[in-house]
Chains A and B, each alone.
Chain A
Amino acid sequence: MPDTGQDRPTLGDSLAARGISRRSLLKYAGYLAGLMALPPMASRAMAEALAGAGRQSVIWLSFQECTGCVESLTRSFSPTIEDMIFNLISLDYSETLMAASGTAAEEARLAAMEANKGKFILVVDGSVSTRDDGIYSTNAGKTNLAVLKETAAEAAAVISVGTCAAFGGIPAARPNPTGAVPVSEIVTDKPVVNISGCPPIPDAIAGTIAYFITFGKLPELDHLNRPRAFFGDSIHDRCYRRPYYDKGLFAKSFDDEGARNGWCLYEVGCKGPVTYNACATLKWNGGVSFPIQSGHGCLGCSEPGFWDQGGFYKPLSASVMGNNAVLGGAAAAGLVAGAASVAMARRRRAAAMAAASKPGETK
């Protein structure tokens, strides 16, 4: 269990003080267990662990970003179970959300770092400018690069929220004028978890923080350091249009009969087969929908370099493999050829990514 501040009351105490019953914790623990594929019987023990923990100190730094990631986490209709994360953490510094400004705000960050040395979670959204020592993105007279190094040095762990922090994202897209890099290229001596997505799914952000508070460790991660619970399946694996893909039934344009019938969007550019995220199951806006359900292909926003993959409206085989003919065959032949084309696309993409210069380098 992370010790999150000697003089902080336990979560159970602080909830009780605000008239929030332990049932809320139990419900939240059940919700988390479901999200993170933990045994459902674990929720009682998780609720007890949470009640005994201190509120987790979180310092949130925003660099080259659009604030969509913060919006994703904070935009919900209270009071809901999803909001509980704000009862579990002490958000000690967030330029976007805090009331303080100027010198007082900067002092708050330093004070929180001092009070929770080695124990706080550092959340970063946005990529880090490195060109010319990072002068293209500064705040309070300091470069993002310097603030990141200074703050991460005292953190227990770093969570890169959003594709910009995780993989460089749009600021690192060609020609990458600021020399933008992901947080993991700067912070190499601390655990860095990537919650990618543009923006990321709020449950993935909250679930990862709550898991850390409950178990005192980070959840299981994939090869890109993303929590497997949320990034273990591809969009394509869980897509409700998959039966059409398997039958070779594809929309050819956004207003044809196939589109109206809800057929597979592969040929109009869907990147679902090579994109790992939980949009197809957790969905967006309180579980209302996700892009494919709303009629648009997946952009692949939770994957490295998604902006430079050759076009959102080109089929995977064309955008990644540069060979439309292969796709045509795959689409016509349905499942077997389709699966082969996806596998080839994945391999090709991996090779292309490896061959391409790193996100931080100007192309």
Chain B
Amino acid sequence: MAHDAGTGAALTGMVDSLMQEVARALTALAETGTRAAIDLRSLPLTPADRDQLAARLGRGEVAATLDVGGRTEVWETAYAGVWWQRHLGAGDHVAGETLEITPLPDILQSHADDIAAAALRLARDLHDTKETADA
């Protein structure tokens, strides 16, 4: 589309410095367990930069799609401990996108409160089932 001419299809070289930042964060995670996150939406990455970043980080063993107030996609990159997390909002536009340098992104874990609520619900369901069977 003509209007999109000049939106920045070229490589800016930003991915080189971003990869250095990821490497530093991953070393810190390996040595001290310090977790980090990089907000990709706050960086002026061109579409070409984004493709280059995705290619250089590659894909790892894990990919998940979550249905949480719209879709969220999370995948581990080819570097263990480096996760790509993409939240989609209205109309499937990207509402948030981060690189998470962590053993496991928080959003993949079940929260303690949700676990407690689920335990109660399951106990109640079992109780109801038993009552129905006894009746």
Binding site for B on A (CB under 8 A): 12, 16, 21-24, 26-28, 30-31, 33-34, 37, 39-41, 43-44, 51, 76-77, 79-84, 240-241, 243-244, 260-262, 283, 285-288, 293-295
Q: Are B114 and A287 in contact (CB under 8 A)?
A: no
Partner of B35, one of A26, A41, A82: A41
Of chain A, the residue at the smallest CB distance from B37 is: A40
> Is the CB–CB distance between A287 and B90 below 8 Å?
yes
Query: Would you call A80 and B90 a contact (CB within 8 A)?
Result: yes
Instruction: Please determine whether A288 and B93 come into contact, CB atoms closer than 8 angstroms.
Output: yes
Contacts of A261 in B (CB 8 A): 2, 5
Q: Report yes or no: B69 in contact with A24, Cβ–Cβ below 8 A.
A: yes
- Counting contact residues on chain B (CB < 8 A from A), the size range is 35 or more
A287 to B70, CA, bound (A): 15
Provide the main secondary structure of the chain B interface: mixed
Rounded to whole angstroms, the CA-CA distance of A144 and B51 in the bound complex is 53
User: Which residues in A have their C-beta under 8 angstroms from that of B37?
Assistant: 39-41, 43
A16 B113 Cβ-Cβ under 8 A: yes
The residue from B39, B85, B94 contacting A287, defined by CB atoms under 8 A apart: B94
**Contact at B87–A81, with CB atoms within 8 Å?**
yes
15 other A-B residue contacts (CB within 8 Å) besides A40-B37, A41-B35? A16-B114, A23-B68, A24-B69, A27-B107, A30-B87, A31-B96, A34-B41, A34-B96, A40-B39, A40-B98, A44-B106, A80-B70, A82-B95, A287-B89, A293-B4
| Distance A22 CA – B106 CA, assembled complex (angstroms) | 10
B interface with A by C-beta (< 8 Å)? 2-8, 35-39, 41-42, 66, 68-70, 72, 85, 87, 89-98, 106-107, 111, 113-114, 117
Shortest CB-to-CB span from A261 to chain B, Å, is 6
User: Are A241 and B95 CB-contacts (below 8 A) given A21-B68, A23-B111?
Assistant: no
- For residue B41, which residues in chain A have a CB less than 8 angstroms away from its CB? 34
Q: How far is the CA of A37 from the CA of B85 in the complex (A)?
A: 17
From A79, A262, A283, B4 is in contact (CB under 8 Å) with A262
In the complex, are the beta carbons of A31 and B95 less than 8 A apart?
yes
Taken together as a complex, chains A and B put the C-alpha atoms of A260 and B113 apart, in Å, by 55
CB < 8 Å: which of A39, A244, A286 contacts B89? A286
Residues of A within 8 A of B72 (CB): 27
Give chain A residues whose Cβ lies under 8 Å from the Cβ of B8. 240
- Across the interface, name the chain A residue whose C-beta is closest to B91: A286
User: What distance in Å separates the Cβ of B6 from its nearest Cβ neighbour in chain A?
Assistant: 5
Are the C-beta atoms of A81 and B70 separated by less than 8 Å? yes
Residues of A close to B90: CB separation below 8 A: 76-77, 80, 82, 286-287
Task: Report B-chain residues with C-beta under 8 Å of the C-beta of A283.
Answer: 93
Q: Give chain A residues whose Cβ lies under 8 Å from the Cβ of B94.
A: 287
Taken together as a complex, chains A and B put the C-alpha atoms of A34 and B97 apart, in Å, by 8
Chain A residues with Cβ under 8 A from B92's Cβ? 286
Q: Give Cα distance in the complex from A200 to B113, angstroms.
A: 36
Contacting pair A27 B114 (CB below 8 A): no
Identity of the chain A residue whose Cβ is nearest the Cβ of B44 in the assembled complex: A238
